[in-house]
């Protein structure tokens, strides 16, 4: 309630008193000077009370705001604590499962229940490798999440990156029996311009490696694996030549995509594939190797580039993993 309304009666009395003071009938009254002082004091009192009320109102609003903030911080802390506990139990489970199996096999060999032959030793070795990968990936992820991993940013022309992807994956993909292609998606770039992206090349290669290796893992040989993409310019590329000449570098965004024709990901699993340790039901039950940390690491790397990562998939029709990075459209030097 505003103060006019809150002190409505008092202001009315004051107004009436002022009118009384000006009333000609009372001008000769000997009590008039005393009444005048009384009215002045009364006015001061109302103003003071209104001021005190205002201060207390502000204070109680402040207290309410602080209470809300404290409640929010408390909720956030509880959420962090819940995810910390979940992470600890996930780690124990993911490392504990292969270790229990190793322990069982070794004990059985010591007890003479099974022969320490090659197949069993090979199985033990693969479990030990898995634990080793897990520890490496977890260490990497924790460094990335704590922003402690040092990133080395440099500028790379898009053209060079596409060539790099071709030479990096083409041989292996075709050797493994996939129909592999890297599409050039630079056709919309205006003349005498090129797209340049600031990135830590090793890290972005790590993201691409994960996408392409996942495509290998979850697509049977004979399938299609395609690297393609898009440049988003918010209409800036459509500016006329003359207007383009006036502006220097223009900001844009580049999306890199890896599509495969494999098993795809079911709708329920899609929101979780970038979570730590998440492996979609089929991958979890199958013998396909993997820690379920690859995409969580990729997400952190892309976020450290101010980028965005995502996936689209239709079950049994393959999937498209993508990430978008900020880029610049640069004018070629004459």
Sequence-separated (6 or more) residues with CB below 8 Å from residue 271 = none
Report the distance separating Cα 83 and Cα 89, nearest Å. 10
> Residue 233, CB half-sphere, CA atoms under 13 Å: how many?
20
Interaction of residue 278 with ligand ATP, rule CB under 6 A: yes
Residue 216 CB, nearest distance to Mg ion (Å)?
10
Interaction of residue 130 with ligand ATP, rule CB under 6 A: no
Interaction of residue 263 with ligand ATP, rule CB under 6 A: yes
- Measured from the CB atom, the residue of 61 and 176 that comes closer to Mg ion is 176
User: Given candidates 260, 300, 302, 323, which one binds ligand ATP under the rule CB under 6 A?
Assistant: 260
- Which of the stretches 19-27, 180-188, 206-214, 298-306 binds Mg ion when contact is defined by CB under 5 A? 206-214
The CB-nearest residue to ligand ATP is 294
User: Given candidates 158, 182, 273, 325, which one binds ligand ATP under the rule CB under 6 A?
Assistant: 273
- Measured from the CB atom, the residue of 124 and 165 that comes closer to Mg ion is 165
Interior/surface letters 197-218, b for 16+ CB within 10 angstroms, e for the rest: bebbeebbbbbbebbbebbbbb
User: Given candidates 98, 223, 294, 307, which one binds ligand ATP under the rule CB under 6 A?
Assistant: 294
Report the distance separating Cα 232 and Cα 253, nearest Å. 5
- Measured from the CB atom, the residue of 299 and 305 that comes closer to Mg ion is 299
- Measured from the CB atom, the residue of 96 and 220 that comes closer to ligand ATP is 220
212 binds, among ligand ATP, Mg ion, none (CB under 5 to 8 A by kind): none
What does the per-residue mask of binding to ligand ATP show for 132-171, with x meaning CB under 6 A? -----x----------------------------------
Interaction of residue 319 with ligand ATP, rule CB under 6 A: yes
Report the distance separating Cα 208 and Cα 203, nearest Å. 9
Contacts with ligand ATP by CB under 6 A lie at 137, 210, 214-215, 217-218, 260, 262-265, 273, 278-280, 283, 290-296, 319
Contacts with Mg ion by CB under 5 A lie at 210, 214, 294
């Amino acid at each position: 309630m505003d103060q006019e309304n809150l002190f409505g009666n008092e202001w009315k009395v004051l107004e009436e008193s002022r009118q009384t003071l000006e009333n000609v009938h009372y001008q000769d009254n000997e009590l008039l000077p005393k009444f005048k002082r009384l009215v002045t004091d009364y006015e001061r009192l109302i103003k003071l009370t209104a001021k005190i009320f205002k201060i207390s109102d502000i204070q109680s609003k402040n207290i309410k705001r602080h209470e809300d903030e404290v409640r929010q911080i408390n909720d956030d802390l509880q959420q962090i604590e819940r995810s910390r506990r979940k992470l600890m139990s996930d780690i124990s489970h993911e490392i504990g499962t292969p270790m229990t199996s190793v322990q069982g096999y070794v004990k059985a060999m010591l007890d003479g229940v099974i022969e320490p032959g090659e197949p069993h030793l090979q199985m033990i070795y693969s479990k030990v490798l898995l634990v080793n990968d897990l520890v490496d990936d977890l260490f990497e992820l924790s460094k990335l999440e704590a922003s402690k991993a040092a990133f080395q940013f440099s500028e790379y022309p898009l053209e060079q990156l596409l060539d790099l992807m071709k030479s990096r994956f083409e041989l292996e993909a075709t050797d493994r029996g996939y129909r592999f292609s890297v599409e050039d998606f630079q056709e919309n770039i205006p003349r005498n311009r090129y797209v340049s992206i600031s990135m830590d090349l090793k890290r972005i290669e790590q993201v691409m490696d994960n996408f392409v290796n996942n495509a290998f893992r979850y697509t049977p040989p004979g399938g299609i694996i395609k690297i393609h993409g898009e440049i988003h310019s918010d209409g800036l590329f459509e500016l006329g030549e003359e207007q383009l000449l006036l502006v220097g570098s223009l900001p844009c965004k580049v999306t890199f995509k890896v599509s495969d024709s494999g098993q795809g990901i079911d709708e329920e699993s899609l929101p979780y594939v970038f979570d730590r340790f998440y492996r979609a039901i089929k991958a979890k039950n199958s013998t396909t190797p993997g820690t379920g940390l690859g995409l969580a690491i990729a997400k952190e790397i892309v976020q450290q580039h101010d980028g965005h990562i995502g996936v689209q998939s239709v079950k049994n029709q393959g999937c498209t993993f993508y990430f978008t990075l900020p880029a610049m459209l640069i004018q070629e030097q004459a």
